[in-house]
Structure 1
Amino acid sequence: MSETPKSTFSGYEKFIIAILATLQFTIVLDFMVLSPLGYILLDKLDITTSQFGFVVSAYAFSAGAAGLLTAGFADKFDRKKMLLFFYTGFMIGTFLCGIAPTYHFLLMARIFTGLFGGVIGSISFAIITDLFPINMRGRVMGFVQMAFASSQVLGIPIGLYLAKEFSWHAPFLMIVGLSVIVGLLIVTYMKPINAHLKIQTQRNAFQHLGKTLSRPEYLQGFAATTLLATGGFMLMPFGTAYGVNNLGIHEAQLPTLYMITGICMLVFSPFIGKLSDKIGKYKVFLAGSAITCIMTLIYCNLGVTPLWIIIVLNVLLFVGITGRMISASALMTAVPEPQDRGAFMGINSSIQQIAGGLAALLAGFIVSETSTGFIEHYPTLGNVVVAAVIITAFLMYRIHKYVTAKLLATPAEAVVKPTI
């Protein structure tokens, strides 16, 4: 008897989506809130800009290392237990950030937090892949990716308010409080996720990691993730400086820009996810890539520009970037075999973290700042981003063809005729 096509979420599935989105919100906010606190930390801890840069990048690199170190073990345990273990470590690390008295204490706390927080995203993606068929994953990813927009709209303004009213420690303690509630809900209501344990091989963790790293179809997925992260992260580090010094945005207008962009992404993210399920993940990825290329070339070549035009261009740019991320994430979940999902997602997450850190580093070599603060060579940076986006589109086409053939050969996994 054929399986009835599934297109609506059950009550439990809605809970899973909501809890994973909220969990992702805490992880993203913990990472993003640090940059706006920079000017406070430079003063309170009496540190240099390079020392602050170490604090920011320490999380990304320790998160990348943790993903690689744990990837071999990722498919050996119940996903719920794995999630709780690493989320507890994340909460402890964030709490240590919230009580850090010195620079070196904070640096160590960020490394500790990254070791645990950097693995959670891959576990979440493995859970989504285990629980949801391919024809629903675009919508799920759309809701989970709302965490980024929510942190921009709600988390960062609230975090900055707490930092000004109390101390720079307060935003981290707020995140801990919210994370405790999320953790209790996971303990109480999430069911064990262990179906993958029934199809485990006898390979040890290191053999499992080695086999995952050596499969050609997995390697092309990792290559696509590398370029996907590179194209996405290169514009971020100097975006604010470029906006203020080159485009003529006043610092007081930055919250308005971020707020409007974030609200628009809250609206567009679920729509993009639904669209990718309806018309196909790769089609949405191509559309997002085209929008990203056009908006990047325009945005990176602007002079002093009225705020409303910058807002429109910024929203369109983020629509393109978000469209790429949601559709690529949903498509990538279909690449690994069930027994390899945890390892694949762990390695993929690590590569994304490390590639993002290297992209920010590369951007620093491309652009330069004059004595007046003007950012030079930003158009060159935009050209590099566009080149990365175009190459990624070719890599994602190969993945699209592989996943299409795989799902057609295993109709039980596809549930309905796949739109990828």
Structure 2
Amino acid sequence: MPLALLALAIGAFGIGTTEFVIAGLLPEVAADFGVSIPTAGWLISGYALGVAAGAVPMTVLGSRMRRKHLLLLLMVVFIAGNAISALAPSYAVMMTGRIVAAFCHGAFFGIGSVVAADLVAPTKRASAIAFMFTGLTLANVLGVPMGTFLGQEFGWRSTFWAVVALGVIGFAGIAVLVPDLPRAASGGVLQELRVLRSGRVWLAVSMTVLGFGGVFASFTYVAPMMTEEAGFSEGAVSWLLVLFGAGLVLGNLLGGRFADRRLMLSLYLLLGGLAVVLAVFTLTATAPVPAAVTLFLLGAFGFATVPPLQMRVLDSAAAAPTIASAVNIGAFNVGNALAAWLGGLVISAGLGYTAPNWVGALMALGALLLAVVAGRLDRVPAAEATGAAVPVRVATPC
């Protein structure tokens, strides 16, 4: 893999760390600003909304820039947002910093996916995207625990200064290692936006909302599920999260390799496997060892879907992939928010902490059905044009 992918992965590591590490620092942040922990929790929601809201506008604003230059600009925004958070004298300023940092998130991963795919041979595009997303998965395994420890020992502001340093390293890596590739020929912003009228693009985006959202229906409530149902102590939850993160890393890399070989077949198998794991989790969540094993599998199958889902959107919007790619990154966050809300509803209805697993299973099954529809649509043009039998391999990455 080109060294340029390492630079993109470092940027992804910093962005993933700042997104998730705040969860481990809520008591410290709440005490410092004199707010309740639920109020401090809005710093997480504010970031998620910033990701969804900023993906397309940031991409459109930079549409006339070369992709490398836009990535550098996004890293500057990321550095500035985290510096604001580190210096924040009040909760409101802290929220502003979180939103500023979040605005670069969707565009960075959206444009980074396009750049990563362009850096390698056509048969390695999904693996290249997966390598970049490895930075995001490692953020859960390494960045969040280390950032939480740093914040608890030296104050939560030190964590955000460390993230600023990661942003500077990412900026330098992109500046030195990422080649200044020419932009693909397109009709500009209007051409990029026009691709959003495509039903196939929105079909692919909907698969992302349901497929990856299914993971968060369960994961959002993993702490009470593991303590109240499986019988783990509260102190064991952090190690369980590391186990989940290890599954994310493995699944991400394997998902990229599978997608390079057979994109649609990978989606069928991975989404189907995810639905099964979530359904089984409702049974295994009542015993410690089976619950831990299933949690690992949830991470593995869940993030294995990310490279093929992102690759599917790039294929569906091949003529103008940049904005469609950024929209799909926003779709991951929309799916997370929707799934967390639905999971909360079934818990509030008195169905127990394992009930969100059924919600996730149904969402993953819905994504699988959409994938089947997408696969059938892929066959239509070829069959109509040639009258020949439908080929086995479809939607090959171009």
TM-score by length of 1: 0.84
Aligned-CA RMSD value: 2.8
Supply the AA of the counterpart residue of 2:337: G
Provide the C-alpha distance between the structure 1 equivalents of 2:286 and 2:371, rounded to a whole number of angstroms. 36
Provide the C-alpha distance between the structure 2 equivalents of 1:135 and 1:33, rounded to a whole number of angstroms. 35
1:332 corresponding residue in structure 2: 313
The runs of 5 or more residues in structure 1 that have no matched partner are 1-8, 370-374, 410-415
1:293 corresponding residue in structure 2: 275
Provide the C-alpha distance between the structure 1 equivalents of 2:235 and 2:30, rounded to a whole number of angstroms. 20
**Does residue 130 of structure 1 match 2:118?**
yes
Provide the C-alpha distance between the structure 2 equivalents of 1:115 and 1:267, rounded to a whole number of angstroms. 28
TM-score by length of 2: 0.88
Question: Do the aligned residues in 1 keep the contact of 2:67 with 2:183 (CA within 8 Å)?
Answer: no
1:281 corresponding residue in structure 2: 263
Q: How far 1:64 moved relative to its partner?
A: 1.2
1:240 corresponding residue in structure 2: 223
Question: Do the aligned residues in 2 keep the contact of 1:247 with 1:303 (CA within 8 Å)?
Answer: yes
Larger CA deviation: 344-353 vs 52-61 = 344-353
Larger CA deviation: 77-86 vs 378-387 = 378-387
Q: How far 1:256 moved relative to its partner?
A: 2.2
The runs of 5 or more residues in structure 2 that have no matched partner are 386-392
**Does residue 352 of structure 1 match 2:340?**
no
Provide the C-alpha distance between the structure 1 equivalents of 2:286 and 2:18, rounded to a whole number of angstroms. 33
Q: How far 1:174 moved relative to its partner?
A: 0.8
- Deviation sequence 1:343-367 (CA, Å, 0-9, x none): 2112222233233223323332332
Identity %: 18
- Once the two structures are superposed, the pairs formed by residues 5-404 of structure 1 within 5 Å of their partners are 9=1, 14-73=2-61, 75-196=63-184, 199-201=185-187, 205=189, 207-208=190-191, 210-278=193-261, 280-302=262-284, 304-306=286-288, 308-338=289-319, 340-368=320-348, 376-400=351-375
Q: How far 1:134 moved relative to its partner?
A: 3.8
Q: How far 1:26 moved relative to its partner?
A: 0.9
Assess, with a 3 A threshold, how the Cα gap between structure 1 residues 417 and 127 changes in structure 2: closer, same or farther: same
Larger CA deviation: 319-328 vs 397-406 = 397-406
Question: Do the aligned residues in 2 keep the contact of 1:287 with 1:320 (CA within 8 Å)?
Answer: no
Q: How far 1:34 moved relative to its partner?
A: 1.0
- Structure number with the higher helix fraction is 2
Supply the AA of the counterpart residue of 1:341: P
> What's the secondary structure of 2:24's corresponding residue?
coil
Question: Do the aligned residues in 2 keep the contact of 1:71 with 1:209 (CA within 8 Å)?
Answer: no
Q: How far 1:417 moved relative to its partner?
A: 9.5
2:390 corresponding residue in structure 1: none
Assess, with a 3 A threshold, how the Cα gap between structure 1 residues 172 and 348 changes in structure 2: closer, same or farther: same
Q: How far 1:183 moved relative to its partner?
A: 0.6
Q: How far 1:401 moved relative to its partner?
A: 5.0
Assess, with a 3 A threshold, how the Cα gap between structure 1 residues 79 and 296 changes in structure 2: closer, same or farther: same
Q: How far 1:175 moved relative to its partner?
A: 1.1
Assess, with a 3 A threshold, how the Cα gap between structure 1 residues 406 and 32 changes in structure 2: closer, same or farther: farther
Question: Do the aligned residues in 2 keep the contact of 1:87 with 1:117 (CA within 8 Å)?
Answer: no
- Deviation sequence 1:315-372 (CA, Å, 0-9, x none): 112221122222222333222124x111211222223323322332333233239xxx
Q: How far 1:55 moved relative to its partner?
A: 1.1
Assess, with a 3 A threshold, how the Cα gap between structure 1 residues 363 and 260 changes in structure 2: closer, same or farther: closer
Provide the C-alpha distance between the structure 2 equivalents of 1:403 and 1:185, rounded to a whole number of angstroms. 38
Q: How far 1:305 moved relative to its partner?
A: 1.8
- Deviation sequence 1:33-79 (CA, Å, 0-9, x none): 11121233233333224312321111111221111323444543200
Q: How far 1:399 moved relative to its partner?
A: 3.4
